């Protein structure tokens, strides 16, 4: 019989091939990162079995499921060998670790595969993911007004071997009205949290992890409450960069986008900009003066960002004045600034 493993052991078997046997729509909504969809039922077939279970009971649903699966059994084996010609061990799960995963695990084991089934299925995985974010972790929050180059600095810190979580990268969103240009419409909060867990789980809990100062919402996605609460209690390093330098960075990152997309982003914050500034932005955009657009928008974003920063505990804030947005130079300045604070035990 295929082995049934608890979630902790199941996730440790990284050399095996992970198959999610839920329906395509279940998989599309969210799945364990790295899993391949290997559905026992199509979406329509799953709906049929579910209806039979509700209306006629478990026995009728079981027989219908067998009728639907029977003609596909040979193809399941062929597809498994195609996906896994090396015959690596398989990890399989459905939603609750019930009939779907057990049935397919039995078949694939008969076909010569070593198979492990997740106890409790995807539901157990999600419970494990959400509980893990409450594990105490040392954080260092990198703050700074829009255009300070925070994301670039995080990347440079990661290259130096430091623990970093790029929340915006995971969310495919830069955290503003202009930030969602690359966020896939199908990315759900549930999948974002699963991807976050994949980065979170292997961290050394005794070593600080760098994150960018974010609101709890990134586009349409939500940072989990326990993770967010730890961020809010962590020490904050604020990068104080001149607005002119920040406008240049925004121009570099967003200046190439087409007129309609930029106009739509400006319109989204029209009430916050105010009528006069909103019209000035649109006029500058129409004249292709994109640096002026960036500067006008920064006037709004700076006020909003600094207002949120005021809600932080003053003793948690450290201020680092920088001349420009040169990433490597600023990373070195940051490390030099923090070293005596770490040595003294302040951080």
Question: Sign of the C-alpha dihedral, residues 97, 101, 107, 112?
Answer: negative
Q: Residue 284: left (phi > 0), alpha (psi -120 to 50), or beta?
A: alpha
| pLDDT for 243 | 92
| pLDDT for 183 | 55
* Closest of 176, 184, 181, 185 to residue 150, by C-alpha: 176
| pLDDT for 241 | 95
| pLDDT for 166 | 95
Spans of the chain, pLDDT less than 50: none
| pLDDT for 288 | 87
SS3 305: helix
- Would you name the residues annotated as active-site residues? 94
CA dist., res. 122 & res. 41, Å (int)? 16
Model pTM score: 0.88
Neighbouring C-alpha atoms within 13 Å toward the C-beta of 149: 27
Residue 48 Cα distances to 60, 66, 123, 208, angstroms: 11, 12, 22, 50
CA dist., res. 156 & res. 341, Å (int)? 21
| pLDDT for 179 | 56
* Dihedral angle of Cα 115, 117, 118, 122, to the nearest 10 degrees: 100
| pLDDT for 309 | 78
């Amino acid at each position: 019989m295929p082995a049934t493993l608890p979630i902790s052991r199941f996730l440790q078997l990284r050399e095996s091939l992970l198959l999610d046997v839920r329906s395509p729509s279940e998989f599309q909504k969210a799945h364990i990162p790295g899993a391949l969809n290997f559905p026992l039922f199509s979406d329509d077939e799953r709906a049929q079995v579910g209806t039979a279970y509700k209306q006629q009971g478990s026995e009728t649903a079981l027989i219908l499921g067998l009728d639907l699966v029977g003609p596909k059994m040979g193809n399941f084996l062929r597809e498994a060998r195609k996906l896994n010609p090396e015959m690596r061990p398989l990890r399989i799960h459905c939603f609750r670790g019930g009939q779907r995963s057990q049935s397919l695990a039995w078949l694939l084991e008969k076909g010569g595969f070593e198979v492990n089934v997740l106890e409790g299925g995807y539901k157990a995985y999600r419970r494990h993911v959400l509980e893990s974010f409450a594990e105490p972790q040392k954080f260092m929050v990198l703050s700074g007004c829009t255009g300070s180059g925070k994301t670039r600095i995080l990347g440079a810190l990661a290259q130096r071997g430091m623990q970093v979580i790029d929340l915006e990268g995971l969310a495919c969103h830069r955290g503003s009205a202009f930030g969602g240009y690359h966020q896939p419409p199908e990315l759900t909060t549930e999948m974002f949290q699963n991807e976050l867990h994949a980065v979170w789980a292997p961290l050394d809990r005794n070593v600080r992890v760098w994150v960018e100062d974010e609101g709890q919402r990134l586009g349409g996605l939500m940072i989990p409450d326990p993770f967010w609460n730890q961020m809010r209690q962590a020490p904050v390093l604020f990068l104080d960069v001149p607005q002119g330098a920040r406008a240049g960075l925004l121009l570099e990152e967003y200046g190439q986008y087409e007129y309609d997309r930029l106009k739509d982003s400006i319109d989204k914050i029209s009430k916050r900009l105010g009528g006069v500034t909103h019209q000035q932005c649109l006029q500058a955009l129409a004249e292709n003066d994109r640096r002026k657009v960036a500067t006008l928008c920064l006037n709004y974003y700076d006020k909003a960002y600094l207002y949120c920063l005021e809600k932080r505990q003053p003793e948690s804030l450290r201020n680092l004045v920088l001349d420009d947005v040169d990433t490597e130079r600023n990373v070195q300045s940051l490390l030099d600034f923090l070293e005596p604070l770490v040595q003294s035990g302040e951080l």
